[in-house]
Amino acid sequence: MLRKFSIKLCLFLSPFFVLIIGYLITDPFKIIRKYEAYPDNFAKSLNRDRISTQIFLHNHQHFNYKSFIFGSSRSSVFYAREWGKHINDKTPYHFDASCETISGVATKLKFIEAKGNKIDNVLFVFDRSLFNYEQDTLGSVFIQDYRVSGLQWWKYHTVFINTYFSKGFFVAFYDNLLTGSFRNYMRQFLEFRKINYTPIVNDFIFTSYIEQIKKDSVAYYNQPNFFYKRSKEKNIQPAAIKAYQLKYLAMIQESLKKNNTKYKIILGPTYDQAYFNQQDLATLIKYFGKENVYDFSGINEYTENIANYYEIYHYKPSVANDIMNKIYATK
Q: What confidence tens digit (pLDDT) does each residue in 285-294 have?
A: 999 999 999 9
Instruction: Give me the DSSP letters along 212-274.
Output: HHHH-HHHHHT-TTTSPPPPSS-EEPPP---GGGHHHHHHHHHHHHHTT-EEEEEE---TT-E
Mean pLDDT of the chain: 93
Taking 80 as the threshold, does the pLDDT of residue 86 lie above it? Answer: yes
Q: What confidence tens digit (pLDDT) does each residue in 185-219 have?
A: 999 999 988 999 999 999 999 999 999 999 999 99
Domain ranges (residues) in the chain: 36-151+193-327
167 or 46: which leads in pLDDT: 46
Residue range 121-132: mean pLDDT, rounded = 96
Residue range 241-269: mean pLDDT, rounded = 98
Taking 90 as the threshold, does the pLDDT of residue 3 lie above it? Answer: no
State the DSSP H helix or E strand holding residue 93, giving kind and residue range, or none if neither: strand 93-94
- DSSP code at position 191: B
Residue range 87-92: mean pLDDT, rounded = 98
- What φ, ψ does residue 121 adopt, rounded to 5°? -135, 140
The angle formed by the CA atoms of residues 239, 241 and 243, to the nearest 5 degrees, is: 115
Residue range 226-235: mean pLDDT, rounded = 89
For residue 9, what pLDDT band results from cuts at 50, 70 and 90? Answer: very low
176 or 168: which leads in pLDDT: 176
